[in-house]
Every structure is written in C-alpha cells, then in structure tokens.
Structure 1
C-alpha cells in the first residue's frame, strides 16, 4: 500500500462497502473522532446556562423596575454583550438604538451549538435542522461588522451540497471581518470537504509577506495537507506557540519543526516518516500519541537545536529511530541493536548520544516481546537527566519470550535510574510476569526513587485482596535502593480502547505533566 497517497474518508467508505463491511462502522469511527476532537476543544468564553436576571423572585415581573444596567458606560456594556451566548447577544440589539450600536461594536462569541433546537445534539441533526442553524450563522456573520472574539462551527455538515456555498461565504466573511479564535469542524457525511481557495490556498503561489502574524495555537484534525503547506504556516506564524496534528489523511513525509516561537507540538494518530526538530529554541514539549506504526513503518525522530525540550513521549523502543544532532540513535527490533552512526554501541552512552534536557520521558513497551523489551536499558541511557519516567505497557497480539529479573540486574548501570529518576508511573499493568520483574528492578535500582504509581488496566483485579496478593506483596519483598519509596496502586480512568491524546492538557502549561491524565 502506498501510504503517501491520499486516502479520503469517502474512499474508505467505498472500499468498505466493496469488501462487504457494514458502512455504519465508519459512522462510528467518525463519531469517535468528533468526540475526541470536541473533548479537546477549549471551552467557549460564554456561559449559556447563566441566569441573566439578578432577581430570583418569579412572582415579580420586573415591570417598572429601574434600568440600572443601562446607566453603565458603553464600553462596559460591550464587554457584557461579548460574553453572552449568541441568541442573547442578538436580542440586545432589539432593545434600543443604543443597544444596537453596542451590539455592532462588541466582539461577539458565535457558537453554532448554542443555536440548536432544544434537545438536539449536533451529531444527530436532521438536514432541515442543520439548515436552520446554518442560516442563523449566515445572518449573524453578515449583520455584524466584526471582529469576532470566538467562532465555533461544529454543528453543520459542511460537505453537504446545500452548505458548500455557505462554507465559502463564512470563511470569506471571517477573513475580512477578523476572528480571534476559530474552531471549524465538519460533521457527518460527506466526510471530506475541500476548503475553498481563500481558506487554505496553494502556498507556492502566495506572495511574500502573507502569513498569520497573530496565530498562537493551531490544531489540525483529519485534514490533508502537503508538507510544504505546513512548512509555510510555521515559517509565517511568528508567534505560534502550540501546534497539533491529528489523524492526518496524508502521510507526513517530513515534519520539519523550525520555529523560534513553538513551545508545544502534538502529533497524534498519523503516519509519519520523519519528524525533525531542526531549530526550536523555545520548544518545551513534544508529544507523539497513538501513531500508526509497525515494524515496517517506523518514525524517525531527529533532535537538532532544542535546548529547552523537557518533555518527550511516547517513544517506543523497537519502532522509533532517534537522532541527536549528527548522531543517529537507531533502535531497530529485528536487528537487536542500538546504532550510533554505523557502529554498534552496545550499552555505553557518550556525550554525543544523549539528550540532557529531558526531565519527563514517556515510553511504550511490549514487555511480552523479548526483543523489544531488551532495548529499554540502552534507550534510557540516552536521557541521563530524566526525573519522571512514564512507562506504558502495551499488549502484544503474539507474545514472544519474556525477560526475567536476572536480565535487568545484568543490564549494567543506567545513569538516570541510579541518580535522577524520582517518580515512575507505570501505565496499563496487566499482571504479566515481565511487567512485575521490571517493576522490581526499578525499585531495587532507583537510588533516589521517591514514588512509584502503578496504573492497573481496567478490570484487571476484582478485589483489593487480589491486588495485595499479586502485586503489592511481591513488590514489598524487594529491597529498595532508595531506602523508602511510596508505592501507589490505582485503577486507570482511561480505558484501553480510548485514545490518549489530549490537546487541551498538553497545551495547558499550568499542567506540569499531561501524561498524568491517565490517573
């Protein structure tokens, strides 16, 4: 299969129908994608359920009451209007000529979900209801001169023939009038929507100087873009801090990160050949979630100039190929080697083969696959200053061998484990013997280890007594290298089948560790 070819959702649907697969499965997948997206979106800066009256007495009609709000200055009233749901904001324009002027000057918040009929959900809208919502959106965008504070369009099937003219008109109006934050999501079939030329043009033909001077956060879900288009966006977005790419419909041949403003990059559920951090002096977080990878389709990750990169994951020994500057750190399962340049390096690390800035590292390991788990010690040696380690245990469809405690004890010194790692979070524990021996090794080797959290797979243990007998008791028998390490066992709150990427957590720098969302 040529992964570089564009495989649209409609093509997938046609192929499923040819293969005799129930097409409703694609609908379920699309719904799942929409739920993932919507769950990751920021909350609109309005309060649709707020009480707009200060008087809670239903017996009082309010007739003849003093208009104290009207005595406020126009700029303050404009701030009130800009924080109202769109239906309430529009109603203020009918109060008086003064209120209409205020409405026209206020930067509105337009969320089409607030225009839905009572009891309706966006994914279940009938065509006529969706048309009514689209018509209301058109009226607001045409009547208000802008700019818009926040626009969220998630409740309309953009690809429907009746909506294509609306789509072009909306994007044109938003471009002309201005919008500070834009959330744009297609709903249901047709699943594939070609944006009009002014929405995302051929970047090769754009004049010099065109760009996004105020763009700070960009999330791209289920889109088809050429690598050069993304290069253009990064090169012409001088203040862009957060970038997310999710379920790209086209294989990413080379994602080249060269930006002096980027602080966080998320790549989720994509096929990527190369991710190259070329020059990103402010980059702090690089998150790689649920990539479509196997032994034949690996992702090469190269770290160039990223002196502030502190959080990295999920990497997978046996799949990912890591480069640090001019040094290639190649982890390749079939060959069972770690390769720096073209030389087998065994278990030793040198200044050229380490990435010292990382203090939070997340790895995925199939402990039931011996050849993959054996690479973990050499991989850890590339990150000598890690203080917090996340290890997610992945289930293998075809278990091949297991590692005993003797292997880990004979693996040699791992600098970060001996002198830096204070916290270990083990996700997805299923009670496999190889998992338990790894945890014992960590406890017996981590000289500064303070806390170990074991997140047990949902439904793994039925009682607390079973947890104590099969997990806590065996770990309690280990002589801890640190002398005292607190061990906490919790059941995971995220089911295995649910996706783990979360735009909101990773882009929120008040959250120190977005990988902790499992807890």
Structure 2
C-alpha cells in the first residue's frame, strides 16, 4: 500500500508540555576524554536553545564549542547503542511482478505476525489497510518501534524540533493504537524536555503492554533532565539502555525487586550517584551484562551480584571499581578509561572465582588491589594476591616509561594461569628511562610467561627500542608460546620500507618455543579496536573479548 497515513486512533494526540527550564548545566566534559574516531556520524548535532547558551556564557564557556562537544557526546552515545532488530529499509511486497496469486495471505497468522514484527513500524502499520484479517495481524504482532524510522530520512532530520514533534505525536498514536506486546522500543529522536509529562505516560503504557527491550536517549538539552522513575516498574524488561539523563533519586523508592527479568543494562553518559547504581544492581536479580559508557562524574562502582557475568566500562572515569562479591563474573573489560586530575582509579578484585578475562589494566590510570594488598612494583606476590582464574589478560603499557615497565613483572605474577596476553603499547610523550634486555632479565622468572602463555597479541606496535626489548625477553622466556600477533600502530610508519625496518628485527629474534609463529597485521579502523561499541561487544560465550584483528 502506498498510503502514508497510519491506521491509528484518530483522537488528538496528547499535548506536548513545554516548560521553561532555568536550571544551570552543572557538569562540563573534558575534550580529552573523547577520542576523535569511532563516532556514529549518522547522528546530527543538536542545536542549543538560547537559554542554555546564556547559561554557558555566564559560566565562561563558549556555547558554540560546547554545542560541538555535546554533538560528539551524542554521537558516541549512539555509536554505543545496540542496533534495532529491524532495518529502516525493510519492505513487504505481497506480489512479485510475474505472480498473480497473493501467497502471503495464505500463510498462518502466527507466521504473518512474525513477518510484520520484523518490519519498520510504518511498513508494519500499512499492512493493516490490506484487509480485516491483516488489521488483526498488525494489532497482535509483537511490535518493534524505532522512532527514527517514522519520518523519511529521520536520521538526518531529527535535529529539527518540528520534525521531532511530528515523531512525538506519531509515537503517542502508536502506543495508544497497538495493544502490545512491544518487543523492542527505541526512543532517541524527540526533544525530551518539551514533554516530560508525556514521557512518563509513555513509560507507563509500555510497562502495561509488556515492553521487553527499551532504548531511551535524551537529545541532550538540558544536561540534567531527570529521567522519570516509571521505567523501574517495567517488570517485563529484559534489555535496557539509557543515555544522557540524570538518573532519578532512588532514596524514596520502595526496596523491592524493580526489574526482575532484566538481563542486560547499558548506562550511557548519565548523571548518577553510587547509591543509585547500587540500587539498580541490587534490584535486578538476574542481570548478566552491565555496560557503562561515558560516565564523566564522581562515582564508585561496587559489584555485588549473584548473577552478573560480564561488565564492560568504556571511556569512563571512576574513583573505584571494586569486585566485592560476584561469584558468576567472567569478564571485566575496561577500555578508553581515564583518570580525573591525575588521580588513578582503584581497581579491587575481591571474590570473583570465575573471572576469566580482565583488562585493559593500566598502571598509569589504575591502582590495583588484589585481596587486601595494594600492588606496587616489587610487591611480593602471595596466594592472597593472585587471581588464578584469569586466562585472558590485557595490559596497557607505555614501554618507554619507567613506572609502567617496572609494574609489568609484578602484575603478571598476580595472574599465574594466563594463557592469552594482550599488550597495548601506549604512546609515550617523553621517555623516562632505558629499559633494555638487561632490565628484563634481572626481573627474574615470570611463571605465566615461561609455562602458560601460548598467545601474545601486541597492539599498536611502533618498533621502538623499549618495545623490542620487552618482546625479545618474552620470546626467550616463553616455553609454550604458539602464536604472536603484532598489530601495527595506525598511521605511524612513513613508508613500507620504514615498516619493514621496524618489523624485521622481530623475525630474527631467538625464541624459546621453536614452533611459534609470528603474524604482523594492520590495526582496525576504529581507534579503540571496536571495543567502544556495545553492539560489537562479544558475549560471554566467546573466549577472548580483546581479539579484533
């Protein structure tokens, strides 16, 4: 059908609530926290409203610069979100050009509902005008609602407030017309500050109509718009992603299970206190996967959960990340994290007997504590400071920086059973000390290198002397090494000849494991190797979460 209208209720949509917001943005994001690549370039910038621009000027900030910065934040948020289960380009054709028989209408209702639920919301709704039977199919199909699919080329036009209001009105009609259940809902294209009361109503409707997956992102002005706490009553939710909100105060919420079926939670650039994060973890009894992206506020993370299996923290800053009691935790992944004012994040590993994969640990950004012992260079390792369950370990090291290099032997001794080691070679501004083969030989035997590690992946190789010294020591010590993957630093080498001159010394190095093989490869397109994208994040069934070459 060619009709553009929707077969929804003809009743007038709920009014958009427009309120003047005089609150001052409280938090500014340091530009250095955001890398320049791996953004979702489909997300347009969001024009700043005049009142917010005045507030930034009063704070001594350039509104144009802040608008550009938050456009990047919004883009990174969308880059991190999971893809919707339907494509905006999907279409339903009942007849092929050379056929005269309608084969679709002969299918059983259960199969037709499955087909309709895989269409964009506009295409699914249009099937209702085909016949009375098809209207029933649409109303009974588990609906996927992606608001950016409502208008033509919405991804390019959603920044305009007029278009956003049209999307908002359409969403209201869809929620009123369809009885549910809603299999998946993505609400990312409206200007939420204009209809906060309506948003509360939407969330209540979705809770009553069996919502299973919800992605809810602000646009992002104002910066401290409070998310309605209504979502905490969505007992059917299995997947939830929230972006660019101020998390509601949980102090007055009754202490009962709020999200009893939630399996996956993503928190993107939220203003949130530690007690609220503790609240949500404590009241999600089957939660298996926690993603935190772009946290830029003072926060401590305490992992106390009987169900969590994977925690992934991207481009964030924490005072402390403490694995207190997580008996099922298999993966703790930290990437793109940064310290505030030179103060390192304390990473504490307590009770996590199934922890299999850990990293990237960075001595420049992390203070490590295992058991009750703070790990420093030269710390005498004992059973209480070891994490024997870890098989895949990732470290970020600036090979030309003395303090980084001195930590490596101690840290590796804390993981005696590591079989796969990833080393991310960090950029060095000014080298601070020579770390040649003598330094490494004097560090003594490292158990996991000599008898456990069979795969070494060295990321961002630049071929400097400090990197070569570490690799030479490793090759001469690793008795069971089978494979070495050298991932070249992006745009570092001036020519193929330059690259070969840096790589060739690796091939001539003596190796304790004579059968080991070296593979040299280019880096991935994304600066973070794809780790900054939740939809590309491997699940707990994949052995190595750091492989992307």
Aligned equivalents of 1:378, 1:294: Cα separation in 2:
25
Residue 130, structure 1, aligned to residue 175, structure 2: no
**Does the 8 A contact of 2:309 with 2:540 survive in 1?**
no
What displacement does 1:191 show? 4.2
**69, 73, 77: which one pairs with 2:104?**
69
1:391-437 Cα distance to aligned partner (Å, 9 max, x none):
11111334322311110111100000000111111111223221121
Between the aligned partners of 2:26 and 2:320, the Cα distance in structure 1 is 18
Residue aligning to 2:66: 26
Structure 1 residue 150 corresponds to structure 2 residue 184? yes
Give yes or no for the alignment of 1:490 onto 2:521: yes
Q: Which residue of 1 aligns with 2:282?
A: 235
The residue that corresponds to 1:258 in the other structure is 304
- Inter-CA distance 217–352: structure 2 relative to 1 (3 Å threshold): same
* Contact persistence 1:8–1:192 (CA under 8 A): no
Aligned to 1:203, the other structure's residue is in SS state coil
- SS of 1:224's equivalent in the other structure is coil
- Closer, same or farther in 2 for the Cα pair 1:439/1:281, shift >3 Å? same
Q: Report the Cα distance in structure 2 between the residues aligned to 1:441 and 1:13, rounded to whole angstroms.
A: 56
* 1:499 Cα offset (Å): 7.8
Aligned residues: 490
Q: Deviations over 1:253-292 (max 9, x none)?
A: 3x11111111100122222122121221111100112222
Identify the residue that residue 424 of structure 1 maps to in structure 2: 456
Distance 1:15 1:476, change over 3 A: farther
Alignment of 1:46-65 (within 5 A): 46-53=86-93, 55-57=95-97, 65=100
Structure 2, unaligned stretches of length 5 or more? 1-24, 30-47, 233-247
The aligned counterpart of 1:358 is: 390
- Is residue 2:386 matched to residue 1:329? no
Aligned equivalents of 1:246, 1:209: Cα separation in 2: 27
Aligned residue number for residue 8 of structure 2: none
- Counterpart for residue 512 of structure 1: 543
Report if aligned partners of 2:440, 2:473 keep a CA contact under 8 Å in 1.
yes
Alignment match of 2:137 (pick from 102, 108, 111): 102
* Conserved? CA contact 2:357–2:545, under 8 Å: no
Q: Take 1:13 and 1:379, find their aligned partners in 2: how far apart are those partners? A: 48
Structure 1 unaligned residues grouped into runs of 5+:
332-336, 339-344
Larger mean Cα displacement after TM superposition, 265-274 or 6-15: 6-15
Question: Per the alignment, in what secondary structure is the counterpart of residue 487 of structure 1?
Answer: strand
Q: Is 2:417 the partner of 1:377? A: no
Residue matched to 2:16: none
Distance apart, 1:184 and its partner CA: 1.2
Change in Cα spacing, 1:249 to 1:122, as seen in structure 2 (3 Å) is farther
Offset at residue 376 of structure 1 (A): 0.9
Structure 1 residue 443 corresponds to structure 2 residue 443: no
Question: Which of 297, 307, 315 matches 1:269?
Answer: 315
Distance between the aligned counterparts of 2:486 and 2:92, measured in 1? 47
Question: 2:432 aligned with 1:400, yes or no?
Answer: yes
Greater Cα shift, 382-391 or 264-273? 264-273
- Give the distance between the partners of 1:514 and 1:16, measured in 2 at CA: 41
> Partner of 1:140: helix, strand, or coil?
helix
User: 2 CA distance for matches of 1:54 and 1:442?
Assistant: 63
**Which residue of the other structure, out of 358, 372, 375, is the alignment partner of 1:312?**
358
Is the CA contact (8 Å cut-off) linking 1:430 and 1:457 kept in structure 2? yes
Q: 2:329 aligns with which of 271, 283, 287?
A: 283
Shift of 1:51: 4.6
Distance (whole Å) between structure 2 residues aligned to residue 416 and residue 54 of structure 1: 61
CA displacement, residues 328-366 of structure 1 (integer Å, 9 cap, x when unaligned): 1333xxxxx45xxxxxx3xx4221221100111011111
- Alpha-carbon distance in structure 1 between the residues aligned to 2:289 and 2:484: 31
CA gap 1:6/1:322 in 2 versus in 1, 3 angstroms: farther
Give CA deviations for 1:45-66 in whole Å, capped at 9, x if unaligned.
2243345226443xx6x7xx43
Alpha-carbon contact 1:217-1:240 (below 8 Å) kept: yes
**CA spacing shift, 1:447–1:25, aligned 2, 3 Å:** farther
The structural deviation recorded for 1:122 is 4.7
| Alignment partners' CA distance in 1, 2:208 and 2:224 | 25
Distance (whole Å) between structure 2 residues aligned to residue 174 and residue 274 of structure 1 = 35
Tell whether 2:187 aligns with 1:140.
Answer: no
Q: Does the aligned pair in 2 maintain the 1:443–1:480 contact within 8 Å?
A: yes
Q: Distance in 2 between matches of 1:26 and 1:231?
A: 31
Name the SS of the counterpart of 2:485 in structure 1.
Answer: strand
Q: Distance in 2 between matches of 1:421 and 1:6?
A: 47
TM normalised by structure 2 equals 0.82
Q: 2:213 aligns to what?
A: 181
TM-score by length of 1: 0.87
Higher-RCO chain (CA-CA 8 Å, sequence separation at least 6): 2
Distance 1:400 1:12, change over 3 A: farther
